Amino acid sequence: MPPTRPARRPVRRDRWWARDKARHLVFSGLWTLSAQYVLVHKAGWSDGNALPASVASSATVGLAKELYDASRIGGRASGKDLVANAVGIGLAVGVIAL
């Protein structure tokens, strides 16, 4: 009997319209809004001073998640996930600016 090859893992497509992208968008937006709330209402920061910190903290968490994904065996970072994070952050900034 000829030797068998190990089964190949199916290649996962990174689609723009996927549940994963919605999760990135929602999580980043909620993180930004939550950080803004805590900094303004609990720490006493002004809205103007809190906004860059809120955005930076959310962006840092999103980037860290992608770096973690890339570090796993067979894993890879997704630029589309980072775009979804940025859209979520942008929407949160829009809500904060209202």
Per 3-state DSSP, the chain is made up of helix, strand and coil in percentages (nearest 5) of 70, 0, 30
Cα dihedral: 38, 40, 65, 89 (round 10): 130
What is the residue extent of each domain of the chain?
19-97
User: What's the pLDDT at 50?
Assistant: 97
User: What's the pLDDT at 18?
Assistant: 83
| Torsion sign (Cα): 57, 95, 29, 81 | negative
User: What's the pLDDT at 4?
Assistant: 73
Q: Could you read off the pLDDT of 5-50 as tens digits, one per residue?
A: 666 666 667 888 889 899 999 999 999 999 999 999 999 999 999 9
Q: Which of 89, 94, 91, 96 is nearest to 55 (CA)?
A: 89
User: What's the pLDDT at 11?
Assistant: 61
User: What's the pLDDT at 20?
Assistant: 86
